Amino acid sequence: MRLMPSRMACCETYGERGIMKTSYQIGVIPGDGTGPEVVAEGIKALTALSRTSGFDFQFETFDIGGNRYLREGGLLADDEIRRLKAMDAVFLGAIGHPDVRPGILEREVLLRLRFELDLYINLRPVALFEGVDTPLKGKGPGDIDFVVIRENSEGLYAGGGGFFKKGTPDEIALQESVNTRKGVERCIRYAFEYCRNRGEKKRLTLCAKTNVLIYESDLWRRVFYEVHEEYPDIAVNYQHVDALCMWMIKNPEQFDVIVTGNLFGDIITDIGAIIQGGLGIAAGGNINPEGTAMFEPIGGSAPKYEGLGQINPLAAICAAQMMLSYLGEKEAANRLLAAVKQVVNGKIASLDAGKMGYSTSEVGDLVVGCLA
């Protein structure tokens, strides 16, 4: 394994660790709903690329998700966590099943993976490609091109809290937001580093709510400006989360990199997904810059479309693209990105499920056909 000189040697694309091997061990979790269909297309693209590159992939499939839970009761075994940790990267389809009560799979599989693998960065690029429709009137590809860095291991997702006098008129429900100095600082440092390496704008926006969350947002704000002293080349600004939601719609061109906590990041990246053309294209990475990383289409399991061959695989293919970039395979990552850009620019009718003019696997074939 060849590690890049700097621990966080990232660049234009996606926060890579720069492993650079001749053979990569990839843990694959197809998961639920349309997960397996889109993962198959991601693997198709990766395999096609590897045929003309100096590396290959060893895929190891993990049967994790709602289907197994309903069949056998198991959620995520300690042994699976150990094996996933040892992978160069993990490729995830979707976790979520209509027959499983909300919260179980999310907490016990998805969030547990994030916590146990300490995937403390959730990296979500928001880029509108040429030829893709955005609901934002008058905005084009040059206007929508930024990255959200979401803290992925703390905040309200830490799961602390409880009920008191549950089910009575005096019931109290507490939900605690955990923000550690260490957790906030490592995320903010990553964001500065990422921003420095991303491109020309070099502008980092902190998104929080200092006017109301006077403890947690205060910590975020203090750490942000402290760390900024080490990055004088980066222009910084601060926006309250509610205002930032407005600006993402009105003036998205102002953004380069946004850094924020876990729940705000969850919410604003759904706005990001829709302005970049929807869940058919939006991908993300759950990254431990010192460990492994897990890449996923952010659209979820879409049970309504399961088995129909109508779901758009491009989000999963973009997740695979981010994974290549993370692994340090920049040339292959760029080739895949160029192929996706060709496919969305006039080849498919729409990014929406059922309206692409092609089936899921035909869209995968189109991408492979466009690989230069």
Of 43, 84, 100, 110, which lies in the binding site for ligand IPM, with binding defined by CB under 6 A? Answer: 110
- 188: contact with ligand IPM by CB under 6 A: no
For strands 23-31 and 121-127, give the pairing.
unpaired
Q: How many residues bind ligand IPM (CB under 6 A)?
A: 4
CA distance 317 to 284: 11
What residue 110 binds from Mn ion, ligand IPM, none (CB within 5 to 8 A, per partner kind)? ligand IPM
Q: State which residue, 179 or 342, has the beta carbon closest to ligand IPM.
A: 179
**In the complex, minimum distance from the CB of residue 43 to ligand IPM, in angstroms, rounded to a whole number:** 21
Residues 250-289 that bind Mn ion (CB under 5 A): 266
Residue nearest to ligand IPM (CB): 106
- Give how far Cα 150 sits from Cα of 112, 208, 265, 266, 285, Å: 17, 11, 5, 7, 10
* 339 closest CA partner among 311, 357, 365: 365
Q: Which is nearer to ligand IPM, 106 or 143 (CB)?
A: 106
Out of 266, 301, 322, 363, the only residue in the binding site for ligand IPM (CB under 6 A) is 266
Say which residue the tokens 């590809």 belong to. 141
- Say how far apart CA 228 and CA 122 lie, in whole Å: 21
| Packing angle of the helix pair 35-51, 314-327 (nearest 10 deg) | 50
Say how many residues touch Mn ion, by CB under 5 A.
Answer: 1
Q: How far apart are CA 314 and CA 197, in angstroms?
A: 26
By CB under 6 A, name the one of 56, 60, 106, 116 that touches ligand IPM.
106
- According to the binding rule CB under 6 A, does residue 319 interact with ligand IPM? no
Shorter beta-carbon distance to ligand IPM: residue 256 or 266 = 266
Report the alpha-carbon distance of residue 288 to residue 119 in Å, rounded: 4
279 vs 351 by CB, closer to ligand IPM: 279
DSSP percent split of the chain into helix, strand, coil, nearest 5? 40, 20, 40
In the complex with Mn ion, the residue whose CB is nearer, 48 or 147, is 147
Report what 41 binds from Mn ion, ligand IPM, none; CB cut-off 5-8 Å by kind: none
Neighbouring C-beta atoms of residue 91, cutoff 10 Å: 24
CB atoms < 10 A from the CB of 266, how many? 19
Question: Of 48 and 294, which CB lies nearer to Mn ion in the complex structure?
Answer: 294
Instruction: Say if CB 126 and CB 147 are below 8 A apart.
Output: yes
CB of 298 to ligand IPM, least distance (A): 6
The pairing of beta strand 293-297 with beta strand 89-94: parallel
Q: Which partner, Mn ion, ligand IPM, none, binds residue 60 by CB below 5 to 8 Å per kind? A: none
| Residue ranges in contact with Mn ion by CB under 5 A | 266
| Residue ranges in contact with ligand IPM by CB under 6 A | 106, 110, 266, 298
